[in-house]
Structure 1
């Protein structure tokens, strides 16, 4: 195996960990952007210190060994896959968001450092002048405009055409150097798309700048892209020097509710550990991953508008789910039953809660098939409110897992010092009202059914 020097920082314990409860899981002040973890932003991203500490613990206990496999049914930006590779593990993952799949591949698969640098130089060579020519042609009316799949009114011109020109250059580089290099370049372009657009700063949902401020928005596409690309190349070179190039990372652009039976099925009894951060709720009312990803994926990743518009509908509890409600869920999880009673009493969103937990339960069932018997699964969950009723997701997770035959090992609370998610929400969409803060998480650690 390629030489690997473990990260030596103060944001995670070093040496053997006696007990998971001895860890301060907040990791306040920790660097969460080291190596390829910092290639691209993503909403509600699980910090890498969580899987890193869990891997260290289970390797020290002899539960995991070099060459084992970690599975993540909600891959997101690939945090688990990256840390798995850094700990000598193969990785497999699912996600219904194509941008998440692109990020996971790009961040977790190391690349030949010399080729990365050569491709970077070739891409930037002459690009500034070409973008000036695009702008000049646009201003004098001679530019043949590309019809993009992004919605009208979300990008300034000629920057929209400049982004498209960069994309075409990346297509050519990818044809020459291969898909791995191409992914790194596309991620670099993707990460500036929202900055170039009229997207309001600090929002993960799609909110535009007020019209009166759009005339002042004149971003320099080349400067933004060059800065992001240079940063990402540096991060990838460092990651590639430390990660084992012989390991495997497989990412399925597929639904984890049917992970073992869809067209790109995950094999049963194939994973030695699961570490995942499920969505906090349906995408429509909590973290809108599809809205965040829409324009970056269309511009940089060659995905269509309709495909990206469906991401949030395809998420847990989304309208595209064809699963039927399971009445027994509220019996299998007393905490969920009490939650539904409270929602019904208030005339709240009991049906939405049922749809989400029903879908979540299906993932738990699939994970039980994928995990080898008796192996650990860590579910990083946050509680939220619906119709001003607190949803105890950690208890629901524990109880439903136990119903499926999982053994509950421990629940580890953690504060969230910084995270891109809705700290406050108004579930009833009543102007001026706010819900509870979503400022803490729980890591529910279970063991898969023994049979």
Structure 2
């Protein structure tokens, strides 16, 4: 199998493992951007070594096999889908962020590299001239305005914004000539450089602009950034495409995982997955990882999505303001750890309602996963313990207890440190300047097996 030919870090001296506890799950200094994992950044991304090790183990134990299906209810940038394909599995996933759906498909679906190279040559044959005309039009006062792109004022230099739009138009034409898959590959290249061209501060996943004095000297070369990233991504795709079975399927649903099996025209089939590997959000998008903010401008410019659509991503996430679910008081009966957390939050007059909203939505996903995963098959939930109102939220214990209430059987609690991840290490929970609280520095992998329905 292609996935087994790659060098992996399993923590056992001979490369063979007999238990998941044998693995050093921190994977410090491991390359987390190999193959198509390196096509595009994404906040709080699960490192590929985690699904790689899990899939190696469960295949070696005969619990999963070639041609089985791995499911991820929170696809993100497609880490699980890519590793599933590398291990000879079909991959299926959900995400409510359209940019995440695009990234997951582009990274997991192998392409014919000779066709990709031809498309590159076609695009670059006249791209430089097109960008030069866009710059001339801007200088003549006849360029595209930010409003035409639904981009908020003050986030991009000009004429670079017009040049980014020009690249997107050229990609549209390229997609018409070649295929949707080829167009998608070029769109994530454009998406990746969009944040570099913008005034977005490096290393931030929320929307923070660089200081005004730095904006004055910010003059990126759109053509050079695009070509450099395109050629790097083609190389990564070539290596990936050579390792995977092109006959396998990847299905990424632009749909809510809380209703995964009942989504109109885009449902996941019950009893269809042989293993689940996922990294749920640490909390509601508004106060933890703002995936929608990270994705907003790249999705609008590169993907043609609307401003309102992207603004709704964080509101639609677990615990978001757009959720239509009612509070579920029984959760405190089913999870003693959640009950103790809620008692502490109420004593402190903290954010108990926000905690309830998030865990209620999270529980709905657990119930859907129980329907999708075949009886007795494994699921791995990679979770971190955040703080709310300076109260530690034991997400690993809440996950274990609520999964057990659904009918899952507990197997392992595997701790790991987070050596490097695009996350803040502290925040200001009371919004008081200078007052901070610790956030996530470690994770736990909660391993359960599906109910025997």
TM-score range, shorter chain: over 0.9
**Aligned mate of 2:283, from 281, 284, 292:** 281
Where do 5+ consecutive residues of structure 1 fail to align? none
Q: Say which is worse superposed, 402-411 or 203-212, in terms of deviation.
A: 203-212
Shift of 1:142: 4.5
Aligned residue for 1:274, secondary structure, equals strand
Aligned residue for 1:409, secondary structure, equals strand
Q: Aligned residue for 1:224?
A: 225
Q: Aligned residue for 1:316?
A: 318
Q: Aligned residue for 1:215?
A: 216
Q: Aligned residue for 2:356?
A: 354
**Aligned mate of 1:383, from 379, 382, 385:** 385
Q: Aligned residue for 2:238?
A: 237
Shift of 1:185: 0.2
User: Does 2:108 match 1:108?
Assistant: yes
Shift of 1:436: 1.4
**2:4–2:56 CA contact under 8 A, matched in 1:** no
Q: Aligned residue for 1:8?
A: 7
Q: Aligned residue for 2:451?
A: 449
Shift of 1:132: 2.1
Q: Aligned residue for 2:431?
A: 429
1:60/1:9 Cα in 2 relative to 1: closer, same or farther (>3 Å)? closer
- Superposed CA RMSD in Å reads 1.4
Cα distance between partner residues in 1 of 2:111 and 2:319: 37
Instruction: Trace 1:51-450 onto structure 2 (pairs within 5 A).
Output: 51-143=51-143, 145=145, 147-263=148-264, 264-450=266-452
Paired residues, what number?
Answer: 450
**1:11–1:29 CA contact under 8 A, matched in 2:** no
Shift of 1:121: 1.3
**1:101–1:251 CA contact under 8 A, matched in 2:** yes
Shift of 1:376: 0.3
Shift of 1:127: 1.3
**2:8–2:53 CA contact under 8 A, matched in 1:** no
Shift of 1:248: 0.5
Shift of 1:424: 1.1
**1:16–1:56 CA contact under 8 A, matched in 2:** no
**1:46–1:79 CA contact under 8 A, matched in 2:** yes
**2:282–2:289 CA contact under 8 A, matched in 1:** yes
Shift of 1:140: 3.2
Cα distance between partner residues in 1 of 2:194 and 2:294: 11
Shift of 1:126: 2.3
TM-score when normalising by structure 1: 0.97
TM-superposition CA deviations, 1:138-168 (whole Å, max 9, x none): 2233446572111122111110000000000
Cα distance between partner residues in 2 of 1:320 and 1:376: 31
Cα distance between partner residues in 1 of 2:74 and 2:438: 25
Cα distance between partner residues in 1 of 2:449 and 2:53: 17
**2:10–2:24 CA contact under 8 A, matched in 1:** no
Shift of 1:11: 6.8
Cα distance between partner residues in 1 of 2:10 and 2:116: 29
TM-score when normalising by structure 2: 0.97
Cα distance between partner residues in 1 of 2:144 and 2:165: 12
Aligned residue for 1:443, secondary structure, equals strand
**1:205–1:288 CA contact under 8 A, matched in 2:** yes
Aligned residue for 2:289, secondary structure, equals coil
**1:287–1:422 CA contact under 8 A, matched in 2:** no
TM-superposition CA deviations, 1:43-76 (whole Å, max 9, x none): 0000000000000000000000000000000000
1:79/1:12 Cα in 2 relative to 1: closer, same or farther (>3 Å)? farther
Where do 5+ consecutive residues of structure 2 fail to align? none
Cα distance between partner residues in 2 of 1:82 and 1:121: 27
Shift of 1:41: 0.3
Cα distance between partner residues in 1 of 2:5 and 2:293: 36
Cα distance between partner residues in 2 of 1:353 and 1:337: 11
